[in-house]
Amino acid sequence: MKKLNITRVKRILLITSISIVSIVSLPVLIYGALLLKRPFRSDKQQQLFPGIVYQRDARKSPRPLMVHIVTIDLTAPGIKLLVTPGNTINKNEFAARTTSEFVREFNLQLAINGSFFYPFREYPPDSYPKPGDPVRVEGQVISEGKSYAPPKSKNYSVLCISKLLQAQIYENRCPLGTSEGLAGREILLKEGKPAVLGDSTDEKLLYPRTAVAIDKSGKTLWLIIVDGRQRFYSEGVTLAELTTIIQELGADSALNLDGGGSTTLVVANKNKLRVLNSPIQTRIPTRQRPIANHLGIYALPVDK
């Protein structure tokens, strides 16, 4: 009887030990699985759609970086841009969506994250906003010719797209007749030369970054994404380093958009969504942040 009780206790202890190990190991296994979902650290170039080429650049210097560049010929047939529309009743109010949700909702082929917004709180693993929560944008927003958020100050510069699909960057407001307007913050390039940046802490930190750039004609648009906060994979860049990357493209002007956990690039091909970069919302790799607005692209399929 005594031996039976000892055997039973041993079994209970063994089962308890296995359960504890499983509970402790599960988060590690899940995190490891998320790391495997990230794009490979390799160079790649691919035509996504007519007039749209994607390039992935796995860099080792000045630190591990994953740079994603989308080159868009605005004169190509089928190309159309869309900025996320806001609330038609309450000005400057937007329902938060992830970039994938935006692509799916509006049947887009490609999209990136957009403007700086508020309120925002991050307490890993939780955060605000959740999908559908109301948020406000810092700076001007125009979608399909309608204004959804007013200009702020020259600190929030704007990418403006005309009805004829010509892109320009202005200091704080788009001209009359603008079809799509997306506020960013710092102008990074002016006439091909680095703009004078401020001395804020954010500009010098290694962050995930998102930017847009245009050529002198306003007919070539670049979307630039640099992943960050992921050690040995992609550790982020300063604004000055981001500017250098954009200069390499031969861009004439460039604008910094919201970055950090907002930085996301999504493509949809044959109704299948793919995230081309590795977002890092609440320190969780590949997790997307719900954000205020986005810049989306319509395009024709490659086989047409």
**Dist CA 177 CA 180 (whole Å):** 9
Are the CB atoms for 46 and 276 separated by under 8 Å?
Answer: no
Tally of structural domains, the chain: 2
Q: What is the pLDDT of residues 172-213, one digit of tens each?
A: 999 999 999 999 999 999 999 999 887 776 888 999 999 999
pLDDT at 26 over 90: no
Q: What is the pLDDT of residues 44-98, one digit of tens each?
A: 999 999 999 999 999 999 999 999 999 999 999 999 999 999 998 888 999 999 9
Q: Which of 276, 270, 271, 272 is nearest to 288 (CA)?
A: 276
Q: Is residue 226 included in any domain, yes or no?
A: yes
Residue 3's pLDDT band (boundaries 50, 70, 90)?
A: low
Contacts of 68 (CB under 8 A, 6+ apart): 54, 55, 56, 57, 224, 225, 226, 227, 265, 276, 277
Are the CB atoms for 74 and 105 separated by under 8 Å?
Answer: no
Q: Is residue 303 included in any domain, yes or no?
A: no
The 94-95 sheet, strands edge to edge = 94-95, 134-137, 117-118
Residue 24's pLDDT band (boundaries 50, 70, 90)?
A: low
The mean pLDDT of 144-153, rounded to a whole number, is: 94
Q: Classify burial at 272, counting beta carbons within 10 Å of its beta carbon; exposed 0-12, middle 13-18, buried 19 or more.
A: exposed
Q: Is residue 304 included in any domain, yes or no?
A: no
Angle, alpha carbons 119-123-128 (nearest 5°): 30
Q: How far is CA 96 from CA 92, 108, 129, 257, 277, in A?
A: 12, 17, 7, 17, 20
- Tokens 């010098």 locate to 204
Q: Is residue 175 included in any domain, yes or no?
A: yes
| Together in a domain, 32 and 157 | no
Range of the domain at 1: 1-37
Structure confidence at residue 29 (pLDDT)? 65
| Together in a domain, 21 and 169 | no
**Dist CA 152 CA 147 (whole Å):** 13
| Together in a domain, 123 and 247 | yes
Q: How far is CA 295 from CA 98, 116, 298, in A?
A: 12, 13, 10
Backbone φ, ψ for residue 101 (5° rounding): -65, -40
| Together in a domain, 18 and 116 | no
| Together in a domain, 93 and 79 | yes
Reported pTM: 0.90
| Coil vs helix vs strand at 175 | coil
- Tokens 């402790």 locate to 24
| Together in a domain, 28 and 59 | no
Retrieve residue 237's tokens: 């860049």
Provide the sign of the torsion angle of the four alpha carbons 249, 172, 92, 123, taken in this order.
Answer: positive
| Together in a domain, 173 and 293 | yes
Angle, alpha carbons 133-136-138 (nearest 5°): 150
**Dist CA 34 CA 280 (whole Å):** 11
Q: Is residue 110 included in any domain, yes or no?
A: yes
| Together in a domain, 238 and 254 | yes
**Dist CA 141 CA 139 (whole Å):** 7
| Together in a domain, 7 and 89 | no
| Together in a domain, 14 and 62 | no
| Together in a domain, 80 and 180 | yes
| Together in a domain, 155 and 11 | no
Contacts of 289 (CB under 8 A, 6+ apart): 98, 113, 127, 261, 262, 264, 279, 281
